[in-house]
Structure 1
Amino acid sequence: MDDKILHTLEYPKIIHKLVQHAATPLGQVEAERTVPSPDLEEVKTRLQMTDEAYKADRLKGAAPFAGIANIRPALRRAVIGGTLSAHELLDIALTARGGRRVKRHIGQIHEDDPLPLMQGIAEMIAEHKDLEDAIFACIDEQGDVMDSASSELAAIRRELRNGEGRIREKLEQMIRSASVQKMLQDAIITLRGDRYVIPVKQEYRSHFGGIVHDQSGSGATLFIEPEAVVAMNNRLRELKASEAREIEKILQRLTAFAAEAAKDLELNLDLLGKLDFAYAKARLAHEMRATQPRMNDRGFLKLRRARHPLIPSEQVVPVDVELGNDYTAIIITGPNTGGKTVTLKTIGLLSIMAMSGLFVPAEDGSQLCVFDAIYADIGDEQSIEQNLSTFSSHLTNIIRILKAMTPKSLVLLDELGAGTDPAEGSALAIAILEHIHRQGSRIVATTHYSELKAYAYNRKGIINASMEFDVQTLSPTYRLLVGVPGRSNAFAIAERLGLPRSIIEHARGEVSDEDQLVNNMIASLEENRLGAEAERQTAEALRRENEALRASLEAERAKLEEQREKLLQKARDEARQLVAKAKREAEQIISDLRKLALEEGASVKEHKLIEAKRRLDQAEPEPAGRKRPAPNAKPQRIEPGDEVMVYSLNQRGHVVELSGEEALVQLGILKMKVQLSDLELVKRQAAVNKTQQPTAAASLKRTRDDRASMELDLRGSNLEEALLEVDRFLDESFLAGMGQVYIIHGKGTGILRSGIQEFLRKHKHVKSFRLGQYGEGGAGVTVAELK
């Protein structure tokens, strides 16, 4: 894309901001040379890379680029045999370590949140941990070669330190001597070059032997190396030369090591530059509050609340623009300083930014197109040197655009046709617009000519737009109104400023009927737009209010649901506790009943069974209960033998007999008197035969089988269980009217037989009993005759 166009749209300023966000010189180079791409797939890849970096930066912060430097010159010198300095080798080690850390950092993020493009680049970074370790073992963080770099260097430096110590000790003895002190300017030891000297007064030069290395500016002080330390200083010089040679050997060895990895390290620099560039784009997007646009190559763009990125956020006015579907050209009219040029630059600059892989300062859902080129004629192009007027300069630029543009180009024209006679300028502007429109290029143009408003109004595929102007405040609002042409506000402004009405009316009379009709039409359109805008804002406010109310109701519902769950859980916990308590009580009651049966034989008194039943009722958790019929409900006819439900007990039973407003009800082994109002008819049955009505004592009902059996098999039972079963069996047989029953206990040890017969001897329903005869089971069966 033409550099002149990029400068016109202020693209270099965006690149400058981008460079400032790069963390390394490598990323800065990548940012400086980035240009828009006309290839859709490449643009999508660039934007995806920015999106991945934006996500990575949001999740884990910036990548660890610290220490990474541009080491290409050093690597190239190492390859051709030069010896690198300690600082250059340290930069190589820091860069290698930085690349390894960046690789690990991106890999860790990729494991949880996929970053396919960035991970693909990071995986190619070569690791050279052995080179890092070798350099860090010899060179410290200040870039100095350490004693540990080699045993020879350690020995040399040890001897150096010892020699320096001996020289200082010798000189200290001299300056402490009274005879010497009077000849010294100051009692200090200093260095001249790499030789240790002391300051001697000029007048004592002949009395003080040694070598003069320097003198003060006044000449009063001579810096003399005493003869006693000359040999020692010479030895120090030899040691320093040996130290330099050993350091040179170490640096050559490390340089050769770095040269072996030079190819990998240069590739690492390219990869790290791309990753740093991606992070820089992400940080710029964060600074501009930018979003990722959707891209296409069909000439369609839709910007939602787009902002010019170089205007402060507190001053910029967002614009909404759509181009490429119903219309391919927009003609923007409006007053000067109303924001037309800013809107033009916003459209062009955001398109270029997106084509460069940058996010744009607009709301989510914005779309932009990948154009093969963007052409712009914006600003005053007057050139005194070329002897061109403003009109000529603009026209020359437009001619160049007309020659280069294609149907996939975007053309931006500011003040089209300006700088010449209005009639000719408007005619020429219409002809240029018509030519570009026929070519299929997308075009956004600004103008002052009212003739272009009518042209756009009548031409399919072209739409009017204007910059809103507040007549009340005599100031622009900088809002773009698509579909509404701008109208002249000269008369309104003049009236507001106090120009006499007679002059204004005379001026209106000079305006042609056609122009007046256009102005009236525009005024009507603007009035309708303002009304629609007010209604839209009201509807938007209602929508937000409804959404807030719905969110509030949803939150309240969720809160109630949470409370309900808590109450249900609490009820479940309490129910479990009650059931556990009821089970414990029931087990205790059963145990008591067994003890009573053993202690009193068959004579379990009715009041004891009623008391046990009461305890069971108390142990049972309180049921919700069945709903009683309404007080005015029609009474039910209940007769003896009917199956009924007892409300208060929530149990079913059979009516034995009726007595006034009460009924005697058989409930399992119990009989209870219950009010008729506490009963509900479940199933009607024939009345119980009076002659077979059981007595009140120990009345039982077997739950396992409604049909009574003449046999009871107790083999395998212990005595306690057997006696309970015998007692129940005898009650059932007595109620069924049987005269004789068989109790099978087996022969065994005889304990079960003896216990059962002792129990039968005392039982109130047993008339007599005997062992079974031949064919009846013999001694393994007891035959009981009932009363």
Structure 2
Amino acid sequence: MNNKALKTLEYTKIIEMLAAHASSPLGKIRCEDLLPSCSPGEIEYKQEQTQDALSRLFQKGNINFGSAKDIRGSLKRLEIGSTLGITELLQICALLDNTSRVKSYGRREKENEQRDSLDDLFDALEPLPLLNTEIRRCILSEDEIADDASATLKQIRRSMKVTGERIHTQLAGMVNGSARTYLQDAVITMRNGRYCIPVKAEYKSQVPGMIHDQSSTGSTLFIEPMAIVKLNNEIRDLEMKEAAEIEVILASLSNMAAQERENLRYNLENLVELDFIFARAALAMDMNATRPIFNTKGYINIRKGRHPLIDKKKVVPIDIHLGKEFHLLIVTGPNTGGKTVSLKTVGLLTLMGQAGLHIPALDRSELSVFEEVYADIGDEQSIEQSLSTFSSHMTNVVSFIEKADPKSLVLFDELGAGTDPTEGAALAISILNYLQKQGIRAMATTHYSELKVYALSTPGVENASCEFDVETLRPTYRLLIGVPGKSNAFAISSKLGLPSYIIDDAKKQISQEDESFEDVISTLEENRITIEKERMEIARYKIEVEDLKKQLETKQEKLNQQRDRILREANEQAHTILRDAKEYADQTIKDFNKFGKANISIKEMENKRQNLRKKMNKVESNMSRKEKKVTGNLKPSDLHLGDGVKVLSLNLKGTVSTLPDAKGYLLVQMGIMRSKIHISDLVLLQEETVISAPNMQRTSAGKIKMSKSSSVGIEINLLGRTVDEAIAELDKYLDDAYLAHIPSVRVVHGKGTGALRKGIHNYLRRVKYVSSFHLAEFGEGDAGVTIVNFKK
């Protein structure tokens, strides 16, 4: 890919975001070197790695690859037989620690779990525990070698300790003994690595020994007494032996590391590669990105794509497709409407995908593999090169035309701008016409109406527009393919306060054809909005129908299961009854046969006959089992007008409309139905109700009750009302219907502009005794009627 496109489309900023997710210095460098690939195989392999790493992040959480240093220089020294220093060996330990931790992260929890593209990298890691343990045992820190690193070193340090103690014993005797009066301070100090005592200058002859230093004033001399010179010499000799032994230890450790040189190199390379891959996955997680589907046919289909450099809480996703039905897409619309963002989104997502990065779009978005992406975006006016805006753009266009081929993607921002509009539009059409004939995929933004007409009349070229809300003077940033955009200059100017006479005069300046064309665009846009709303309503109806279908299927399935169970139990019971009856009949026949042959009393046979009759009565009773009838136990004096009751036989609630007559019958209002019910079929409800008398009266309980059940219908017609009139009328109707215990009602408001329906729905959301509401089914009024359900 050319560097100009990478810079113009801000690909470098994506790389900066990627590098921030890498945890090792070499991993960050690896991220910074990432460039888009033109090889479909390489692209798919990188995308698969990113997807597999993302799956592991979701399953196991984040992983840190540590801040291990670059040990490639140390490995080179090992290759030529050099001895490594303490710091270098500790860096190898740090690398092995990271290797062990990362290998543990990559280990499969289940042996039969399916492998992915990262398993080979994890398997190739070698923690080398023997080497790591040995280095840690010998080296405690960058400044300290362990005493147990070797037996010789341990013996040397023991001798140094004994010698040092002897020196301190002798010096302590001098400091605290006869030489005390000659000393500046009663301390033991060191100069040039040898133990000394601070002697006053005037007493230097009293303390025989070697002078190693003096104070800045010259009043104190640091003298090594002759009595400990030999011991100090022994200390220095032991220190040199210690240094030599440390060199032996480091050489031994270096030799061990040299034998594992290749494993160390592979560990470093694999850790860097894994860090790079998991950085791509972490970026995808941060962007909520998905893996795109790639093709080599020049087809782009981005579903709900978002520009990754815009705040994901504010960016408006766009749907865009290019390369199948048409090769050229011309985007029009007002300034700040999102045309350039749409252009950059297509280019940047293409570069990201070909670099192995997931793209911020819905899954199953498609991208094509392009060998080059050319982008001419923004004002590139150059004073140094004496280039105007138009000249600068034309310079880019010339280079694009020379290099572009059918495997290229070309992006133009404001093609033909910066010069005479008539000439610029003609030039832009010619450029696009050339690209179209060459089969090159291209996308261009423009304000020229001529390009809109060109897209409408040319096969393989399509219009698109960025939606703009004239009422609020704000763009919606939605990209609409197939609809040319309108500049809305007059509408915007009018909203901003430009006098109408100036706007009217401006309208006279444009040709009748241009005005008619803009009017056609406006009509298309209005029709599109209407169709889109209807499509959304149809989609909602489809979902509701599907839900109802599933509910009915579930209900039918339960009924079938209950029916099968009841039939199965009935058959089993019948089989048991028949078997018992057969056995009892057989036994009875045997008894009667015995009666004819043996001398059995009449009384005994009568008892057997009675037992048979009891058995038959019991079977008949079981076969004709009936449900126990539930009856009420109310008295006429228990009922009052307006009392809430439940009709047991109908399982409905209602209110008492008349008092019981002499035979116990009374009228009960159940919604819109009024029936004559016997008092034994009623149960008194505890809830408060209202009487059906037209006027208010006080019951014995002191509660005011009133019922509208005798006059309230199940439907109210609000056609032709304003929103305020309808709300006032609906409020009174709903109160009456709820008090009448009507379970649901129909509100007829018509379709129209939808304002009345919207106002009614907003009101219904605030009514506390309304449990739910929805539009009527298809054929029952659909969008012109709302069904309201009351709380029980």
Instruction: After TM superposition, give the deviation of residue 385 of structure 1 in Å.
Output: 2.1
1:554–1:76 CA distance, 2 compared to 1 (3 A): farther
**Residue 145 of structure 2: SS of its match in structure 1?**
coil
Verify the 8 A CA contact 2:329 2:442 in the aligned structure 1: yes
What's 1:30 paired with?
30
- Partners in 2 of 1:548 and 1:96 — Cα distance? 58
What's 2:488 paired with?
489
**Residue 157 of structure 1: SS of its match in structure 2?**
helix
- Partners in 2 of 1:289 and 1:219 — Cα distance? 75
What's 1:291 paired with?
290
Q: Which amino acid aligns with 1:91?
A: Q
TM-score by length of 1: 0.68
Q: Which amino acid aligns with 1:73?
A: G
Match runs of 1:502-517 below 5 Å = 502-517=501-516
Instruction: After TM superposition, give the deviation of residue 256 of structure 1 in Å.
Output: 2.1
What's 1:524 paired with?
523
**Residue 284 of structure 1: SS of its match in structure 2?**
helix
What's 1:72 paired with?
72
Q: Which amino acid aligns with 1:383?
A: S
1:551–1:265 CA distance, 2 compared to 1 (3 A): farther
Instruction: After TM superposition, give the deviation of residue 222 of structure 1 in Å.
Output: 5.6
What's 2:19 paired with?
19
Q: Which amino acid aligns with 2:432?
A: L
Verify the 8 A CA contact 1:26 1:269 in the aligned structure 2: no
- Partners in 2 of 1:206 and 1:314 — Cα distance? 87
Cα-to-partner distance string for 1:525-544 (whole Å, 9 max, x where unaligned)? 11112222323443455556
Unaligned 5+ segments in structure 1 are 591-596, 629-787
Match runs of 1:144-223 below 5 Å = 144-176=144-176, 180=180, 183-185=183-185, 188-197=187-196, 211=210, 213=212
- Partners in 2 of 1:621 and 1:61 — Cα distance? 69
Structure with greater Cα Rg: 1
Instruction: After TM superposition, give the deviation of residue 195 of structure 1 in Å.
Output: 3.6
Verify the 8 A CA contact 1:288 1:361 in the aligned structure 2: yes
Verify the 8 A CA contact 1:147 1:157 in the aligned structure 2: yes
What's 1:453 paired with?
452
- Partners in 1 of 2:292 and 2:188 — Cα distance? 72
What's 1:92 paired with?
92
What's 1:746 paired with?
none
- Partners in 2 of 1:28 and 1:399 — Cα distance? 37
1:215–1:511 CA distance, 2 compared to 1 (3 A): farther
1:377–1:110 CA distance, 2 compared to 1 (3 A): farther
Determine if the alignment matches structure 1 residue 5 to structure 2 residue 20.
no
Q: Which amino acid aligns with 2:134?
A: A
1:213–1:487 CA distance, 2 compared to 1 (3 A): farther
**Residue 341 of structure 2: SS of its match in structure 1?**
helix
- Partners in 2 of 1:198 and 1:501 — Cα distance? 104
Match runs of 1:693-772 below 5 Å = none
Determine if the alignment matches structure 1 residue 436 to structure 2 residue 435.
yes
Verify the 8 A CA contact 2:24 2:68 in the aligned structure 1: yes
- Partners in 2 of 1:354 and 1:434 — Cα distance? 29
Instruction: After TM superposition, give the deviation of residue 100 of structure 1 in Å.
Output: 4.8
**Residue 392 of structure 1: SS of its match in structure 2?**
helix
Determine if the alignment matches structure 1 residue 368 to structure 2 residue 367.
yes
Cα-to-partner distance string for 1:261-292 (whole Å, 9 max, x where unaligned)? 22332233223322222211111111111111
Match runs of 1:320-469 below 5 Å = 320-469=319-468
Instruction: After TM superposition, give the deviation of residue 76 of structure 1 in Å.
Output: 0.5
- Partners in 2 of 1:64 and 1:111 — Cα distance? 25
Instruction: After TM superposition, give the deviation of residue 369 of structure 1 in Å.
Output: 1.0
What's 1:711 paired with?
none
1:199–1:507 CA distance, 2 compared to 1 (3 A): farther
1:237–1:327 CA distance, 2 compared to 1 (3 A): same
**Residue 374 of structure 1: SS of its match in structure 2?**
strand
What's 2:684 paired with?
none
- Partners in 2 of 1:623 and 1:88 — Cα distance? 98
1:228–1:449 CA distance, 2 compared to 1 (3 A): farther
Match runs of 1:175-324 below 5 Å = 175-176=175-176, 180=180, 183-185=183-185, 188-197=187-196, 211=210, 213=212, 225-324=224-323
1:547–1:147 CA distance, 2 compared to 1 (3 A): farther
- Partners in 2 of 1:159 and 1:612 — Cα distance? 116
- Partners in 1 of 2:121 and 2:93 — Cα distance? 21
**Residue 623 of structure 2: SS of its match in structure 1?**
coil
**Residue 140 of structure 2: SS of its match in structure 1?**
coil
- Partners in 2 of 1:240 and 1:624 — Cα distance? 109
Verify the 8 A CA contact 1:56 1:109 in the aligned structure 2: no
Cα-to-partner distance string for 1:3-35 (whole Å, 9 max, x where unaligned)? 221111111211122122223334323322221
Instruction: After TM superposition, give the deviation of residue 125 of structure 1 in Å.
Output: 3.7
- Partners in 2 of 1:153 and 1:46 — Cα distance? 52
**Residue 487 of structure 2: SS of its match in structure 1?**
coil
Instruction: After TM superposition, give the deviation of residue 327 of structure 1 in Å.
Output: 1.1
Determine if the alignment matches structure 1 residue 58 to structure 2 residue 58.
yes
Cα-to-partner distance string for 1:306-339 (whole Å, 9 max, x where unaligned)? 1111111122121111111111111111222222
**Residue 111 of structure 1: SS of its match in structure 2?**
coil
**Residue 302 of structure 2: SS of its match in structure 1?**
strand
Instruction: After TM superposition, give the deviation of residue 232 of structure 1 in Å.
Output: 3.1
Q: Pick from 614, 625, 628: which aligns with 2:623?
A: 625
- Partners in 1 of 2:297 and 2:479 — Cα distance? 24
1:310–1:173 CA distance, 2 compared to 1 (3 A): farther
Cα-to-partner distance string for 1:176-207 (whole Å, 9 max, x where unaligned)? 5596388445x555555534455566676666
Q: Which amino acid aligns with 1:306?
A: G
1:240–1:405 CA distance, 2 compared to 1 (3 A): same
Instruction: After TM superposition, give the deviation of residue 48 of structure 1 in Å.
Output: 0.8
What's 1:728 paired with?
none
Unaligned 5+ segments in structure 2 are 588-593, 627-792
1:550–1:12 CA distance, 2 compared to 1 (3 A): farther
Verify the 8 A CA contact 2:447 2:487 in the aligned structure 1: no
Determine if the alignment matches structure 1 residue 121 to structure 2 residue 121.
yes
The sequence identity of aligned pairs, in percent, is 44
Cα-to-partner distance string for 1:147-202 (whole Å, 9 max, x where unaligned)? 222111111122223333444455555555596388445x5555555344555666
Instruction: After TM superposition, give the deviation of residue 210 of structure 1 in Å.
Output: 5.0
- Partners in 2 of 1:252 and 1:615 — Cα distance? 109
Task: Give the superposed CA RMSD.
Answer: 4.1
Verify the 8 A CA contact 1:374 1:409 in the aligned structure 2: yes
What's 1:40 paired with?
40
1:147–1:455 CA distance, 2 compared to 1 (3 A): same
- Partners in 2 of 1:468 and 1:161 — Cα distance? 86
What's 1:135 paired with?
135
Q: Which amino acid aligns with 2:412?
A: L
1:493–1:173 CA distance, 2 compared to 1 (3 A): farther
- Partners in 2 of 1:82 and 1:549 — Cα distance? 80
Verify the 8 A CA contact 1:306 1:346 in the aligned structure 2: yes
Instruction: After TM superposition, give the deviation of residue 608 of structure 1 in Å.
Output: 7.7
1:330–1:137 CA distance, 2 compared to 1 (3 A): same
Verify the 8 A CA contact 1:67 1:91 in the aligned structure 2: no
Cα-to-partner distance string for 1:444-471 (whole Å, 9 max, x where unaligned)? 1111222111111111111111222222
